[in-house]
Chain A
Amino acid sequence: MKENMVFFVINLVIWIGIFLYLLQLNYRVKKLEKKK
Chain B
Amino acid sequence: MLWKYLLGLWMAAVIAAAHLLPIPQVKGLGETARIIFFHVPVAWVALVAFTIAAINSIRFLHGRNMEFDYRSYAASQLGLFFCLLATITGSIWAKVTWGSFWNWDPRESSIFVLLLIYGAYFALRSAIEDESRRAALSAVYTIIAFVTVPFLVFVIPRVYFSLHPAPLVNVHGRLEMDIRMLLVFLASLFGFTMLLFWMYQLQLTITRQELKEE
Contact = CB atoms under 8 A, between A and B. Distances in A.
The answer to whether A and B interact is yes
Nearest to B203: A25
How many residues of B sit at the interface, in one of the four size bands? 20 to 34
Contacts of A13: 85, 88-89, 92
A14 B89 contact: yes
Contacts of A10: 35, 38-39, 89, 92-93
B46 interface: no
Chain B binding site: helix, strand, loop or mixed by DSSP? helix
B199 A21 contact: yes
B32 A3 contact: yes
Contact of B85 (A2, A14, A22, A28): A14
A11 B19 CA distance: 10
Interface string A1-36: 011101111110111011001100110110010000
A3 B82 CA distance: 24
24 contacts: A3-B30, A4-B31, A6-B31, A6-B92, A6-B93, A7-B19, A7-B32, A10-B35, A10-B39, A10-B89, A11-B18, A11-B38, A13-B85, A13-B88, A15-B15, A18-B195, A18-B199, A21-B199, A22-B202, A25-B203, A26-B202, A29-B206, A32-B205, A32-B206
